[in-house]
């Protein structure tokens, strides 16, 4: 009766379930079922509502009733939370909101898929798996941090208690959500949030003997929510505030924070979603050990898409591969790969495919499955195993080049690689000039050379590849005596592999090359009259 003659229920269903059109007349008498839920920590009455329509559809959501929602100050707070929950771009800390009726003290929320952290802890008891506990807690702690972040860092997100956060049951579902819309309050600074998170973790840990909870999970949660540099600076500023206060518990927290920051300065700590991806693949491999060799790479591709690994960067993709397909690396090789993954994560300007360390690591791997998985990790495309990292001495210095052995003509042994000297670069430009083709110029130009068995330039291409965005083919040439044997196509395919590995979304070519490029997968683009060859951004592992 509370909502009769009001649009509360139809609007809630429209807002929560994206229905195109719904009216109060679609609900008949007796079509609503309400189940009272346990009294919440914040004192609100909570109900699970099942609303059926005349055509048999069924919609389930939560209804909260609280006299405090009628208060003007509380109303403003809920409107702030409505804005937070409706953020369209990133993961938020609140469930979706339905209707809000202040005069009735009522608000509707989407049902979050999962149970409260307290319920999951109670069910697990003393036999809880340590990794599962960590997943639940980091996910829950991250929800409170997201709530604080999304409020403009102005509000502490309600009661920081295990009863007030809903953790997804399924590992691949991202984002725990805060259950309560009450109790949010002004935040004096990030140190208040850190203290609250450490406090709830320690209180819960006092009830567990066999499987202790780790305060370091709070630090993990900050790195899960915030960019690496931002998380580091924020936590360092919190440590300074607590250090100045100088209480016993303050100094204990300072030691924890600074100790964890020092650890992260030396090793890569994968985000929770990335660690869940590893656990998912290992679960599958334990159930189907006989399929790992044949289907392991295919299932890893599925896992990458399911957990969104690619959006965490190449370091995350390498980390997952390192702990799944490459888990059996010899210890020294595993250590070297871990060091490279850390450098990729810590220094975005580090070009791993040009590093001597990576080439040395490849040399230590025997021919076979491990080596193929390694090369597919470095060059994530269908033909990646044809690319090899090779150490060469150029100008008295050791450098690394990526070489591709070309097998289009059994009579002619060819390599595709970057030029090793100005003379080789000049050889490409001379061939273009000889054929009276446009000769590009500029400092940003890059080159690939086609090298014959005598180590002479027999062709090549010129292109530009900005740090982000589309690459552009400036020119391509093959010596007249070698034309018609597939070497031009091999040059373009090699460039495509390299660009995919670097994250470029596509390759553009000028229209005067259309006769050749359209046979190599390019298509005319009516937007600018040029040709484009596109692929999935990042790699095929994106899913």
What span, in angstroms and rounded, lies between the C-alpha atoms of 108 and 95?
10
**pLDDT (0 to 100) of residue 172:** 59
Residue-level pLDDT at 478: 93
If you search the block for the tokens 């229920």, which residue do you land on?
A: 9
* pLDDT, position 30: 66
Please say whether the beta carbons of 350 and 330 come within 8 A.
no
Residues 1-20 as b/e (b if ≥16 CB within 10 A, e otherwise) read eebeeeebbbbbbbbbbeee
Q: What does the alpha-carbon distance between residue 197 and residue 167 come to, in Å, rounded to a whole number?
A: 16
Evaluated on CA atoms 94, 100, 105, 108, the torsion sign reads negative
- For strands 106-110 and 58-65, give the pairing: antiparallel
Residue 187's CB: how many other CB atoms inside 10 A?
18
Helices then strands, each counted (H, E), the chain: 17, 19
Burial classification of residue 324, based on how many CB atoms lie within 10 Å of its CB (0-12 exposed, 13-18 middle, 19 or more buried):
buried
Phi, psi of 266 (to 5 degrees): -120, -15
d(CA 175, CA 187): 22
Please tell me the pTM assigned to this model: 0.69
Report the run of H or E that residue 433 belongs to, with start and end. helix 422-434
How open is the CA angle 41-46-47, to the nearest 5 degrees? 155
Question: How far is Cα 250 from Cα 501, in angstroms, rounded to an integer?
Answer: 46
Which CA distances in Å does 218 have to 111, 125, 221? 26, 22, 5
Q: How far apart are CA 3 and CA 28, in angstroms?
A: 13
- Calpha distance 2→106 (Å, rounded): 10
Give the CB-side neighbour count of residue 393, counting CA atoms within 13 A. Answer: 1
Sign of CA dihedral 164, 89, 279, 291: positive
What residues contact 451, with CB distance under 8 A and at least 6 apart?
414, 415, 416, 417, 424, 457, 458
Q: Output the CA angle 86-90-91, nearest 5 degrees.
A: 80
What whole-number distance in Å separates Cα of residue 299 and Cα of residue 92? 29
Q: What is the pLDDT, as a whole number, of residue 43?
A: 65
Give the Cα separation of 319 and 451 in Å (integer): 34
pLDDT at 542: 32
What is the Cα–Cα distance from 205 to 532, expressed in whole angstroms?
57
Residue 125 DSSP symbol: G
Per-residue confidence (pLDDT) for residue 88, from 0 to 100: 47
In CATH, what number does 114-264 get? 1.10.510
What number of CA atoms fall less than 13 Å from residue 516's CA on the CB side? 19
CA angle, 70 then 116 then 53, to 5°: 65
Tens of pLDDT along the chain (543 residues)? 666 677 787 788 888 877 666 655 566 666 778 888 776 555 678 888 888 877 777 888 888 888 888 888 888 888 878 777 765 445 677 888 888 888 888 888 888 777 888 888 888 776 777 888 888 999 999 999 998 998 888 888 878 888 888 888 766 566 788 887 777 888 889 999 999 999 988 888 777 656 678 889 999 999 988 888 899 999 999 999 999 988 888 888 999 999 989 988 888 888 888 999 999 999 999 989 999 988 999 899 889 988 888 888 889 999 999 999 999 999 999 999 999 999 998 887 888 887 888 888 988 888 888 988 998 888 876 554 566 777 776 666 767 778 888 877 777 778 999 898 888 999 999 999 888 888 888 888 999 999 988 889 999 999 998 877 889 999 999 998 888 888 999 999 889 888 887 778 889 998 888 888 888 888 888 887 788 998 754 433 332
User: Pick from 256, 221, 212: which is nearest to 238 by CA?
Assistant: 256
**To 10 degrees, the CA torsion angle through 530, 533, 538, 542?**
130
The answer to whether 10 touches 26, Cβ cutoff 8 Å, is: yes
Judge residue 51's burial from the number of C-beta atoms within 10 Å of its C-beta, 0-12 exposed, 13-18 middle, 19 or more buried: buried
Cα separation of 160 and 243, whole Å?
23
Bridge partner residues of 52 (DSSP)? 58
Residue from 114, 163, 157, 161 nearest 135 by CA? 114
411-542: CATH topology: Aminopeptidase (3.40.630)
pLDDT for res 89: 46
DSSP 290: G
User: Radius of gyration of the chain from Cα atoms?
Assistant: 29
pLDDT at position 403 is 83
Between vectors from CA 453 to CA 452 and to CA 456, what angle results, nearest 5°? Answer: 45
Choose among 103, 49, 59, 75: nearest CA to 181: 75
Contact 221, 175 (CB under 8 A): no
So where are the chain's domains?
8-71+82-110, 114-264, 272-378, 411-542
Cα distances (Å, whole numbers) of residue 219 to 58, 113, 215: 41, 25, 8
């Amino acid at each position: 009766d509370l909502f009769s003659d009001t649009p509360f229920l139809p609007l809630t269903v429209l807002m929560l379930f994206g229905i195109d059109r719904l009216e109060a007349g679609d609900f008949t008498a007796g079509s609503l079922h309400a189940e009272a839920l346990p009294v919440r920590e914040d004192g609100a009455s909570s109900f699970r509502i099942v609303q059926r329509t005349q055509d048999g559809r069924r919609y389930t959501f939560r209804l909260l009733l609280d006299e405090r929602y009628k208060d003007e100050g509380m109303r403003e707070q809920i409107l702030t939370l409505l804005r937070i929950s409706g953020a369209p771009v990133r993961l938020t800390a609140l469930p979706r909101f339905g209707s809000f009726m202040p005069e009735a003290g009522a608000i509707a929320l989407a049902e979050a898929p999962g149970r409260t952290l307290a319920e999951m802890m109670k069910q697990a008891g003393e036999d809880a798996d340590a990794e599962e506990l960590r997943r639940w807690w980091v996910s829950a702690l991250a929800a409170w941090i997201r709530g604080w972040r999304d409020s403009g860092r102005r509000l502490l997100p309600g009661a920081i208690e295990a009863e007030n956060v809903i953790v997804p049951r399924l590992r691949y579902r991202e984002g725990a959500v805060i259950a309560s819309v009450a109790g949010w309050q002004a935040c004096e600074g990030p140190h208040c949030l850190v203290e609250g998170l450490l406090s709830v973790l320690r209180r819960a840990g006092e009830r567990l003997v066999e499987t202790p909870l780790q305060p370091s999970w709070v630090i993990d949660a900050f790195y899960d929510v915030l960019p690496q540099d931002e998380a580091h600076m924020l936590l360092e500023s919190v440590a300074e505030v607590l250090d100045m206060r100088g209480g016993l518990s303050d100094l204990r927290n300072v030691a924890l924070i600074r100790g964890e920051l020092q650890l992260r300065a030396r090793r890569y700590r994968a985000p929770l979603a990335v660690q869940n991806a590893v656990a998912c693949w290992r679960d599958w491999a334990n159930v189907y050990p006989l399929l790992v060799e044949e289907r392991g790479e295919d299932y890893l591709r599925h896992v990458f898409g399911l957990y969104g690994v690619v959006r965490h960067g190449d370091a995350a993709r390498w980390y997952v591969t390192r702990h799944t397909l490459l888990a059996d690396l010899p210890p020294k090789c595993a250590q070297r790969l871990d060091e490279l993954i850390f450098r990729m994560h810590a220094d975005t300007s580090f070009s791993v495919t040009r590093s001597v360390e990576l080439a040395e690591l490849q040399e230590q791997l025997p021919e076979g499955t491990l080596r193929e998985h390694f090369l597919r990790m470095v060059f994530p495309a269908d033909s990646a195993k044809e690319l090899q990292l090779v150490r060469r001495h150029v100008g008295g210095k050791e450098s690394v080049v990526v070489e591709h052995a070309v097998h289009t003509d059994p009579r002619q042994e060819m390599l595709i690689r970057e030029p090793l000297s100005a003379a080789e670069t000049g050889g490409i430009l001379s061939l273009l000039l000889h054929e009276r083709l446009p000769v590009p110029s500029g400092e940003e130009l890059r080159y690939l050379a086609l090298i014959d068995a005598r180590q002479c330039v027999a062709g090549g291409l010129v292109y530009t590849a900005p740090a982000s965005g589309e690459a552009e083919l400036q020119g391509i040439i093959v010596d007249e005596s070698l034309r018609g044997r597939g070497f031009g196509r091999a040059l373009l395919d090699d460039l495509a592999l390299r660009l995919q590995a670097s994250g470029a979304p596509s390759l553009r070519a000028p229209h005067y090359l259309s006769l050749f490029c359209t046979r190599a997968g390019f298509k005319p683009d009516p937007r600018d009259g040029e040709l484009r060859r596109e692929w999935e951004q990042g790699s095929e592992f994106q899913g």
